[in-house]
Chains A and B, each alone.
Chain A
Amino acid sequence: MVVHPVSSAKETASSRATGTARVKRGLAEMLRGGVIMDVVNAEQAKIAEDAGAVAVMALERVPADIRRDGGVARMSDPELVEGIQNAVTIPVMAKARIGHFAEAQVLEALRVDYIDESEVLTPADEAYHIDKWGFQIPFVCGATNLGEALRRISEGAALIRSKGEAGTGNVVEAVRHLRSITGDIRKLTTADPAERYGWAKMLQAPIDLVEEVATEGRLPVPLFCAGGLATPADAALVMQLGAEAVFVGSGIFKSSDPGRRARAIVEATAHFDDAALVAKVSRGLGVAMAGSEIGTLEVKMAERGW
């Protein structure tokens, strides 16, 4: 065996570029086909990693509890974030409030792997999202339609997720957002080039991004699904609708057997087109989170952000 390092590098390391768009989007590419799980402490993070999560999302309270308890929801305590970082080897994401660039600066200082500028927390700015180009750390943002997705990308988001309606255990909103985004992408690819200017106006999105989507037939960054997923079949559904990975929030730790359910959702996400396998992993998972009808909600988190 040769134990390395054995010699000095000929090239210097100064030619390394960090925090580039490719490096930021690159981590999102690596999460594809996987499940990112909301966790509020180190113990839950460990359960998530053991179940095969590709990343965990650190937050103070899962969305279902934010709905139940009310009040202002903020970035999580740095001590909790660090506890989670120390507990697992997979990437750790954390949420900052919409427009709250100082929370984002704190999360960057904590060296989290991804920041979610999230409508699940109480927005801090009613006009502007964070200027994400100014950060070395990559951002994920929620979107309900293609225009919103492209506006977030123009602000520097390296990953887009549907907003869905977090904390409801109800997948209907995530499906609506996903169908809206992928449906408009399909229409845009067949539009006459002259019509793209009309699309840009209608979507309220920069023309260069509209052109890119029209030519490539996909967003310039990966598209994941979030908001209301609670079962393995929910994951299989949104993956078949074009999501490239899934976020699961309250759905896991508000169920009766989080470890088993988490593992089953991981399997169903990886094998989303294998119904026999989804059936197999869905057996005997215990009680899923109760969930709510969208019409009964006092707060619609998906309406936050613009």
Chain B
Amino acid sequence: MVSSRDAARPGLSPKVGVLALQGDVGEHLSVLAQLGASAVPVRRPSDLEGVQGLVLPGGESTAISLLLASSDLLPGLEKLVADGMPMLGTCAGMIILSRQILDGRPDQVSLGAIDLVVRRNAFGRQLESFEMELPVVGIDGGPMHAVFIRAPIVESTGPGVEVLASVPLDRDAGAPAHPVVCRQGAVIVAAFHPELSGDGRLHQMLLAEIEAEGG
């Protein structure tokens, strides 16, 4: 039997919340479970208790934003952002974690956990969605298999932000590239969905951050 204090210790199954208001929550939960984390869905403020890291999944960012506002989760999330909790956001999750959103709705929630300006649906409609092999700085073992679904893109980055991967917005060879994986401190974001291809290496990066925080 593991005591609750042991469970909070690094290396021993960290408790990671996955925001579960809408989107591909299940894929994140299963990737985290495979990595040995104790993954829990977060739908109400009490679900945040004891959480050591947080994943914001892919989904429709406008819908998640409205549900965030009505779920009373916002104050709790804002506090966790202020406390510097390790977080991973993919696609819609990246949008919500950013400082500023272009082509969003005026009332859309942006938590400002990472100093980015992002543009929603930057590649266009579903016909422009794609998958590719994408090398990511700090990720060993070859490129990640990146699935971009009506994906956002980073338009500008603040001084503390590291760009870990970029892709061109259009398909012309040699076109200028925009960041699609970034990190600032313990906050990691990706415009694509590592959870859709079951690639757990960005989640592993999050777990390493949680371990570093605990140590």
Is B200 located at the chain interface by the 8 A CB criterion?
A: no
Is A19 located at the chain interface by the 8 A CB criterion?
A: yes
Minimum CB distance partner of B161 in chain A: A2
Is B157 located at the chain interface by the 8 A CB criterion?
A: yes
Spot the interface stretch: A26-34, A120-128, A168-176, A178-186.
A26-34
Is B22 located at the chain interface by the 8 A CB criterion?
A: yes
* Cβ-neighbour of B132 out of A16, A54, A90, A274 (below 8 A): A16
Most-contacted residue by chain B among A14, A15, A51 (CB, 10 A): A15
A33 with B22: CB separation less than 8 A: yes
Q: Which residues of A contact B154 (CB under 8 A)?
A: 4
Q: Known interface pairs A9-B175, A27-B149, A54-B60. Does A16 touch B130 (Cβ–Cβ under 8 Å)?
A: yes
Q: Which residues of A contact B62 (CB under 8 A)?
A: 49, 52, 89-90
State the CA gap A6–B57 with chains docked (Å): 28
Most-contacted residue by chain A among B103, B127, B131, B179 (CB, 10 A): B127
Q: Known interface pairs A9-B176, A18-B127, A108-B127. Does A52 touch B157 (Cβ–Cβ under 8 Å)?
A: no
State the CA gap A32–B175 with chains docked (Å): 34
B60 with A90: CB separation less than 8 A: yes
A89 with B131: CB separation less than 8 A: no
A interface, size bucket: 35 or more
Is A190 located at the chain interface by the 8 A CB criterion?
A: no
* Cβ-neighbour of A1 out of B129, B130, B157, B172 (below 8 A): B157
Is A270 located at the chain interface by the 8 A CB criterion?
A: yes
Q: Known interface pairs A1-B157, A7-B177, A54-B22. Does A13 touch B126 (Cβ–Cβ under 8 Å)?
A: no
| Smallest beta-carbon distance A276→chain B, Å | 11
Q: Known interface pairs A30-B58, A54-B22. Does A137 touch B179 (Cβ–Cβ under 8 Å)?
A: no
A17 with B131: CB separation less than 8 A: yes
State the CA gap A138–B127 with chains docked (Å): 9
Q: Known interface pairs A34-B22, A89-B62. Does A7 touch B176 (Cβ–Cβ under 8 Å)?
A: yes
Q: Which residues of B contact A51 (CB under 8 A)?
A: 66
A137 with B127: CB separation less than 8 A: yes
Is A292 located at the chain interface by the 8 A CB criterion?
A: no
State the CA gap A33–B56 with chains docked (Å): 14
| Smallest beta-carbon distance A242→chain B, Å | 13
State the CA gap A54–B68 with chains docked (Å): 14
Query: Could you tell me which residues of chain B, from 103 to 157, have a CB within 8 Å of some CB in chain A?
Result: 103-105, 117, 120-121, 124-133, 135, 147, 149-150, 154-157
Q: Which residues of B contact A138 (CB under 8 A)?
A: 126
Is A91 located at the chain interface by the 8 A CB criterion?
A: yes
B126 with A270: CB separation less than 8 A: no
Q: Which residues of B contact A113 (CB under 8 A)?
A: 125-126, 150
Q: Which residues of B contact A267 (CB under 8 A)?
A: 67, 70
Q: Which residues of B contact A55 (CB under 8 A)?
A: 60
State the CA gap A70–B157 with chains docked (Å): 56
State the CA gap A213–B36 with chains docked (Å): 26
B127 with A32: CB separation less than 8 A: no
| Smallest beta-carbon distance B115→chain A, Å | 8
Q: Which residues of B contact A5 (CB under 8 A)?
A: 166, 168-169, 176-178
| Smallest beta-carbon distance B184→chain A, Å | 13
- Could you pull out 9 A-B pairs where Cβ atoms are within 8 angstroms? A31-B60, A32-B24, A32-B25, A33-B20, A53-B63, A54-B22, A89-B120, A263-B66, A266-B63
Residues of A in contact with B (beta carbons under 8 Å apart)? 1-20, 22-23, 26-27, 29-34, 49, 51-55, 89-91, 108, 111-114, 136-138, 263, 266-267, 270-271, 274
Having A23-B147, A23-B149, one finds 6 other A-B pairs with CB under 8 Å, namely A2-B156, A11-B167, A18-B129, A32-B22, A33-B59, A271-B71
